[in-house]
Amino acid sequence: MFETGVRQFRLAMSMTWGRRINTDVLGAMVADALATLAEFGEPGADVAQLVDGPFADPAVRRDFTDRAIRRTAKRLATRSPWFEARFSAAGIEPAKLDADSVRRVPVMTKADLTAHGRELLCGDAPTMSTRTTGSTGRPAEVLMSRYEAELWPALAALSGLLRDEIRPTDVMAVCISSRATAAVQQNISVCRHVGAQVRVIGVIPPDEALDALLGPAGATLLATYPSYLAVLVTAARNRGLGPADFRLRRVDVGGEVLSPALAAAARATLGAALVNDTFAMTEVLPVSGRSCSAGHLHHDLNTGLVEVIALESGEPAKPGELGTAVITPYFPYRECMPVFRYDTRDLVSPIAPENLACELAAVPATSAILGKASDLLVTPSGRSLHPRAIIEALESLPTDPWPVRYRAEVADERFVLTIDTSTAGGLDADGVMRHLAERGVDADIRVIPAAEAGTLRRVRADLSETTFMQPSTLVGVGG
């Protein structure tokens, strides 16, 4: 117990003072948590506070944030000529930055990252290169140090254990693109720390993936995209499979909009009690977000600053106002190729603290991700329509058109949505319009033949990876 207390103290001091975290100590804490859970069934409030942070007091939260911003900025200014020039051009003294004045630093964009990525290096020599999937344009390269590759999954394993998100008895199926190497590596390493099994499946033909989920030895956890989850649910229904055929207890999805209709279908078909809508992106690792029971998105405030800036003014968005999430991972959690005030272009809307009554009410929250800013429809008069509203309305159609494919446009003062006949089903355009209007989406509908569905929006399930043909189907093999 004494050694455990020492390790907790060392981690707390590293987090408080912003010093590099000893990953061996962190790994030992994961082992401590496993032993405590095995003996007592719960980790204890002192350890849980290390993960969630002492953020119930706004004054404590503000002091922690100000010190973390200054620490991170000072390091970037002394180690990266690119950041030094950026701060200098904005007239910024890194040692004097705080949560208010940080807004004077211009936001970073994906274009900055792709054009100047290696100029951002300011930590240990990189040992791993990963890339974004490229689903929103040219992929961006992100370089990681060995320290980061060890730190991030150890932190995730500790928090996952304490929140009962993963157990040693779990089997995790990872159905994400193999191009997302950082996410795959993270899942593998988390399972290694916890002692759980992991099956890296990828985005392969759905029936092959389902085979890995089935039966008494099947997966208990599934990490995937909403669109691929949709493909799996549809394939399972086509095979006549139901909850009794699976032993999934949790599904974590991210990278796209998860509609309530799809989440409900996944629970009903795959038997998972929880379908969790998460937030994570390669560019801002290890900052992530988790959903509460009310559907809010709560970001990890230990590891980074999360701002929401209004689309037009660039000022902090007010509660209920549309803005984009701008994220700054703190040192010592991000060191090799840092980003500072990185505009994710993910649309969110802040939620006033007094309106939070969920189990995570002590942690500031936003709406769920509403889509990418580039996909926001705005009429000449200023009316707007975001992708989440469209997807939730269309995926609630009686045809169960998951993952829904559509094209969205503005014609004069009208929103126009194009779908194919398989999505509309037995409804004509007017019928679909009425269905959407009942759900708050006022748009004109155009219906095209199903054969033309390939002209509509692409989804991450389209990042398909082929597999070798079965030996029985090969021709001309052997002598």
pLDDT of residue 197: 96
3-state SS class at 179: coil
Q: How many helices and strands, by DSSP H and E, does the chain display?
A: 14, 18
CA distance 10 to 37: 21
Q: Do residues 307 and 348 touch, judged by C-beta distance below 8 A? A: no
pLDDT of residue 17: 62
Q: Do residues 363 and 55 touch, judged by C-beta distance below 8 A? A: yes
Instruction: Identify whether 286 is preceded by a cis peptide bond (ω within 30 of 0).
Output: yes
User: How far out from the chain centre does Cα 137 lie?
Assistant: 18
Complete domains list, the chain, with CATH: 6-146+281-366 (3.40.50.12780), 164-277 (3.40.50.980), 376-457 (3.30.300)
Q: Do residues 237 and 210 touch, judged by C-beta distance below 8 A? A: no
Q: Do residues 403 and 459 touch, judged by C-beta distance below 8 A? A: yes
Q: Which two tokens stand for residue 259?
A: 């509609």
Evaluate the CA torsion angle 420, 423, 426, 431 in order and state its sign. Answer: negative
From the first residue on, what is the mean pLDDT of each consecutive set of 10 residues in the chain (479 residues)?
A: 52 65 86 84 57 67 93 95 94 94 95 90 81 70 92 93 93 92 92 96 94 92 97 97 96 96 97 94 93 91 94 92 97 94 97 91 92 96 96 97 96 96 94 97 96 92 74 39
Q: Do residues 387 and 443 touch, judged by C-beta distance below 8 A? A: no
Q: Do residues 306 and 47 touch, judged by C-beta distance below 8 A? A: no
User: How far out from the chain centre does Cα 22 lie?
Assistant: 26
Q: Which two tokens stand for residue 379?
A: 């009429």
pLDDT tens, position by position, 304-344: 999 999 998 889 999 999 999 999 999 999 999 999 999 99
One-letter amino acid at 179 equals R
Q: Do residues 133 and 179 touch, judged by C-beta distance below 8 A? A: yes
Q: Among candidates 229, 234, 225, 261, which has minimal Cα distance to 248? A: 229
Does an H or E element contain 291, and which?
A: strand 289-291
Evaluate the CA torsion angle 455, 201, 166, 23 in order and state its sign. Answer: negative
CA distance 46 to 32: 13
Q: Do residues 399 and 410 touch, judged by C-beta distance below 8 A? A: no
Q: Among candidates 174, 160, 157, which has minimal Cα distance to 224? A: 174
Pairing of strands 221-224, 171-175: parallel
CA distance 228 to 338: 30
One-letter amino acid at 312 equals E
Residue 317 to residues 138, 257, 280, 326, Cα–Cα distance (Å):
28, 21, 21, 11
Q: Which two tokens stand for residue 464?
A: 């398909």
Whole-prediction pTM: 0.90
CA distance 174 to 202: 6
Phi/psi-derived region of residue 41, left when phi > 0, alpha when psi is between -120 and 50, beta in every other case: left
pLDDT of residue 321: 95
pLDDT tens, position by position, 175-189: 999 888 889 999 999
Q: Do residues 435 and 443 touch, judged by C-beta distance below 8 A? A: no
